[in-house]
């Protein structure tokens, strides 16, 4: 789980640390920094996918198909105020290990790693690599190492290692008496990579959720384009199918009592909802709101353990009663596994949250005399409980969190 993220000179952030929980809701006015924060998490995902930094920032296309969308503003606007570099320092809880990863990226015509370090709570510094050790971006020479403490660690075959994170490049070349220690370093690097890339950034598009999808597909897709295949996979397990039907029955009126699939000879499937009067409605006819909430439920139900799901505008297209149930689903799911970071603008969404979830929500805004975006947990702001007793609407009508 990603437990905190410090952003220095990244987009609207000058120097802020954001603490995260299993379910973290981001609050704030337009242009306050919420989407910039999500961009930072997506950048970490690109690092976990072992993409070159230029591709992480600008996007990557292969054969006319978009492989990675890049970040808003690309490399030209990622560093705050024309700065030459930015830094992201992330803390992770991976099983029993607590890791801190720090990467400084120098922007320009070719984004490059300027400094990168990884520390473990029990093991100390695993590697700490300043730009100097990268030999002016030309790659590692024979016997050179990104670690001062492990001489047998080195980058792999990439001739220009500064073009991408070292996490995916470090290899272990066994030296006498060093095997256990260095194997631990390599394994932790790869575990962190896996955690970083296990991020699903939802950008649900109902028009893309209405079609057939092959039943073999094992992922929802960023736009939810594989919704029917994902629902089909869930329904192969009777226990999970019962859980899904229970959620559907609680969410919609008229009450939904069943789910089935139209299947072609080629293995493509199309989800259908059975209403209580046995009327069958296929995904082609479901409303945008129904498809959006089904996509969010499917993302949570199928997210691998330890994964992170990003959701913007949690309440988009949903009735307040449906939002309340969705919040309850997210609170329950993230107590056992997975992590969700979501943005919201609606007081009705906040009313649906437990006091603990609301207290751990992060509000973004600006403060006089402080450069850039300021981020703080709602529960730590002065007189939170007193003002909360007056109602969530009162807090936001008075613009209290932002000021």
pLDDT tens sequence across 167-206: 988 765 444 444 446 677 888 999 999 999 999 999 899 9
Q: Using the 8-state DSSP alphabet, how is residue 79 labeled? A: B
pLDDT value at residue 151: 38
Q: Which one is predicted more confidently, 244 or 264?
A: 264
Q: What percent of the chain has pLDDT over 70?
A: 85
Model confidence band, residue 324 (pLDDT cutoffs 50, 70, 90): confident
Mean pLDDT of the chain: 83
- What percent of the chain has a predicted confidence (pLDDT) above 90? 44
Burial class of residue 189, CB neighbours in 10 A (0-12, 13-18, 19+):
buried
Taking CB atoms within 8 Å and a gap of at least 24, the contacts of 154-158 are: none
* Every domain range in the chain assigned CATH 3.40.50.300: 1-137+161-203+312-402
**Environment class of 168 (CB within 10 Å of its CB; exposed 0-12, middle 13-18, buried 19+):** buried
Q: How many CB atoms lie within 10 A of CB 287?
A: 12
Are 111 and 118 spatial neighbours (Cβ–Cβ below 8 Å)? no
pLDDT of residue 144 exceeding 50, the answer is no
| pLDDT for 50 | 92
Confidence at 149, pLDDT banded by 50, 70, 90: very low
What pLDDT digit, counting tens, does each position of 218-244 carry? Answer: 889 989 999 999 999 999 999 989 888
Asked whether residue 148 carries a pLDDT value surpassing 50, the answer given is no
pLDDT over threshold 80, residue 43:
yes
Tell me what the mean pLDDT of segment 128-145 comes to.
Answer: 47
What pLDDT score was predicted for residue 258?
Answer: 85
Name the pLDDT band for 73 (thresholds 50, 70, 90).
confident
| Residue corresponding to tokens 């993302």 | 299
For the cut 50, the answer to whether the pLDDT of residue 140 exceeds it is no
Q: Measure the CA–CA gap between 101 and 188, rounded to whole angstroms.
A: 11
d(C-alpha 125, C-alpha 105), whole Å: 20
Across-strand partners of 98?
Answer: 93
Q: Are 311 and 202 in contact (CB under 8 A)?
A: yes
Q: Which of the two residues, 295 and 158, has the higher pLDDT score?
A: 295
CATH-assigned architecture of domain 1-137+161-203+312-402: 3-Layer(aba) Sandwich (3.40)
Q: Using only the alpha carbons of the chain, give its radius of gyration.
A: 23
């Amino acid at each position: 789980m990603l437990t905190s993220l410090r952003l220095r000179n990244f987009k609207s952030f000058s120097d802020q640390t954001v603490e995260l929980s299993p379910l973290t809701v981001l609050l704030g006015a337009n242009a306050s920094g919420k989407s910039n924060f999500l961009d930072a998490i997506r950048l970490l995902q690109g690092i976990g996918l072992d993409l070159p930094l230029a591709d992480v920032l600008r996007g990557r296309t292969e054969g006319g198909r978009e492989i990675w969308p890049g970040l808003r503003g690309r490399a030209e606007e990622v560093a705050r105020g024309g700065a030459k570099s930015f830094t992201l320092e992330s803390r992770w809880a991976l099983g029993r290990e607590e890791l801190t990863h720090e990467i400084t990226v120098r922007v320009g015509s070719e984004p490059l790693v300027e400094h990168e370090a990884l520390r473990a709570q029990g093991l100390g510094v695993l590697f700490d690599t300043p730009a100097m050790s990268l030999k002016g971006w030309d790659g590692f020479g024979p016997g050179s190492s990104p670690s001062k403490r492990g001489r047998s660690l080195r980058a792999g075959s990439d001739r220009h290692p500064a073009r991408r994170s070292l996490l995916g490049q470090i290899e272990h070349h066994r030296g006498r008496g060093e095997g256990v220690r260095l194997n631990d370093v390599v394994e932790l690097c790869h575990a962190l990579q896996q955690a970083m890339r296990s991020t699903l950034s939802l950008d649900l598009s109902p028009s893309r959720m209405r079609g057939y999808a092959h039943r073999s597909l094992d992922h929802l897709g960023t736009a939810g384009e594989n919704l029917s295949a994902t629902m089909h996979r869930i329904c192969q397990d009777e226990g999970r199918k019962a859980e899904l039907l229970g959620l559907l029955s609680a969410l919609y009126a008229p009450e939904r009592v069943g789910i089935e699939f139209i299947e072609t000879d080629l293995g493509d499937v199309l989800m259908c909802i059975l209403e209580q009067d046995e009327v069958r409605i296929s995904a082609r006819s479901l409303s945008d709101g129904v498809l959006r909430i089904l996509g969010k439920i499917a993302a949570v139900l199928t997210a691998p353990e330890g994964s992170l799901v990003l959701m913007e505008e949690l309440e988009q297209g949903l009735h307040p009663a449906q939002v309340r149930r969705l919040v309850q689903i997210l609170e329950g799911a993230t107590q056992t596994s997975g992590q969700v970071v979501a943005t919201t603008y609606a007081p009705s969404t906040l009313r649906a949250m437990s006091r603990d979830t609301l207290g751990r929500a992060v509000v973004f805004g600006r403060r006089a005399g402080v450069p850039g975006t300021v981020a703080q947990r709602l529960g730590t702001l002065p007189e939170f409980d007193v003002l909360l007793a007056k109602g969530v609407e009162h807090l936001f009508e008075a613009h209290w969190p932002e000021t």
